[in-house]
Amino acid sequence: MQSRTEDLELLLAVVDSGGFSAAARLLDVPVAKVSRAVQRLERQLRTPLLNRTTRSVTLTTEGRAFVERIREGLAVLAKAEEQTRLSRERPSGPLRVDAATPFVLHQLVPLIGDFHEQYPGIELELAASDDIINLLEQRTDVAIRIGELANSTLHARHLGRSPLRVVASPHYLERFGVPTGPAALHEHRLLGFLNAENLNRWPLDGLSQRGANISPRLRTTSGEVMRQLCLSGEGIACLSRFMIQDDLDKGRLISLMADRVISPHPREQIQAVYYRNTTLSARIGAFLDHIAPRLRL
């Protein structure tokens, strides 16, 4: 079915070329198609647009006013289409991203410089939160979630897995010794999360098939605070590799019982989420495409 825009473009071709046959040759379409398009417009407008003679085609008074307006309208449409195309190629506009503080600090911050160079038109907002937020209430476009997703109203894009590590600082191990196995953890100072008991279930196969709850000596709401406590020798922690790999590489933290950690485990999952009733905009896609292959999980 021919569109209204195509009919308008055929009318302009007739006006600019001086006749139906000339317009048909210019656009490489049948003359009948051009004629039907003009007739359709005249029928819809209930007024003649062209004066037809055997030698020439000229605009009626109504046709001249109409053509002036459709030229303006088609130019605006073409500009809008071009801007949309360019927007897809070079996304622009605000983009609000939410993630846990450790993920923002250790994974996203190192990637922001290159992202801004590649997409200077995207106005990035990074929200570092250790709580699960409501995306709509917080005006968040995309959130990075660690662990299993329970909300079926969300679209999710899998970014990878970050293994869990049970770690302690050399200073702590010098003072309190190295635990001989999972069962010996009750003899040590353990660091845990406040108001998130699911995170205090450590995935060690010596405890149970999916791990067991530990009894923390010290609790915090922040994974980054827990990392700092661990670095300071305050206890043993179970943390995702994405936030401590550099500490392990440089010997600031020591991995314990690596062969006893259950993997794969639901807590290893890293996913980007957004609402089902929203379209994955070009800027969200650009952001996720940029970070996904560069994450050090």
Q: What angle do CA 241, 247, 252 make, to 5 degrees?
A: 135
Q: What is the pLDDT of residue 209?
A: 55
Q: What would the two tokens of residue 158 be? A: 């899998």
The 8-class DSSP code of residue 148 comes to -
Tell me, what amino acid is at 82? E
Express each pLDDT in 20-44 by its tens digit.
Answer: 998 888 888 999 999 999 999 999 9
User: Closest Cα partner for 155 from 136, 142, 146, 137?
Assistant: 142
Per-residue buried b or exposed e for 48-69, using 16+ beta carbons within 10 Å of the residue's own CB: ebbeeeeeebebeeebeebbee
Express each pLDDT in 198-228 by its tens digit.
Answer: 899 999 986 655 567 889 999 999 999 999 9
Q: What would the two tokens of residue 124 be? A: 């990035």
CATH topology match: 4-89 vs 164-262: no
Q: What is the pLDDT of residue 138?
A: 62
Q: What is the pLDDT of residue 89?
A: 72
**Average pLDDT along the chain, 297 residues, taken 10 residues at a time:** 81 87 87 92 92 86 91 82 70 90 96 95 89 61 86 78 97 96 93 89 75 87 95 97 97 96 91 70 89 96
DSSP 3-state of 213: strand
Q: What is the pLDDT of residue 66?
A: 92
Q: What are φ and ψ of residue 182, in 5° steps? A: -55, -40
Contacts made by residues 288-293, CB under 8 angstroms, sequence distance 24+? 288/142, 288/157, 288/159, 290/111, 290/114, 290/115, 290/118, 290/119, 291/107, 291/108, 291/111, 291/115, 291/159, 292/157, 292/159, 292/160
Domain limits, the chain: 4-89, 93-162+268-294, 164-262
Tell me, what amino acid is at 29? V
Q: What is the pLDDT of residue 291?
A: 97
Q: What is the pLDDT of residue 108?
A: 97
The whole model's pTM is what?
A: 0.70
Q: What is the pLDDT of residue 131?
A: 67
User: Closest Cα partner for 243 from 212, 216, 270?
Assistant: 270
**CB under 8 Å to 243, separation ≥6 — which residues?**
102, 103, 105, 106, 223, 224, 227
Q: DSSP labels for 155-190?
A: EEEEEEE--EEEEE-HHHHHHH---SSGGGGGGS-B
Q: What is the pLDDT of residue 173?
A: 98
Provide CATH code, domain 4-89. Answer: 1.10.10.10
User: Closest Cα partner for 180 from 121, 260, 114, 65?
Assistant: 260
Provide CATH code, domain 93-162+268-294. Answer: 3.40.190.10
| Cα→Cα distances 161→86, 128, 165, Å | 34, 20, 13
H or E stretch covering 97? strand 93-99
Q: What would the two tokens of residue 218 be? A: 């010290």
Q: What is the pLDDT of residue 266?
A: 87
Per-residue buried b or exposed e for 119-132, using 16+ beta carbons within 10 Å of the residue's own CB: beebeeeeebebee
Q: Which CATH superfamily is domain 164-262 in?
A: Periplasmic binding protein-like II (3.40.190.10)
| Cα→Cα distances 219→214, 216, 223, Å | 11, 6, 10
In whole angstroms, give the CA distance from residue 20 to residue 14: 5
Q: What is the pLDDT of residue 55?
A: 78
Using left for φ > 0, alpha for ψ between -120 and 50, and beta otherwise, residue 105 falls in alpha
**CB under 8 Å to 172, separation ≥6 — which residues?**
189, 230, 233, 234, 235, 236
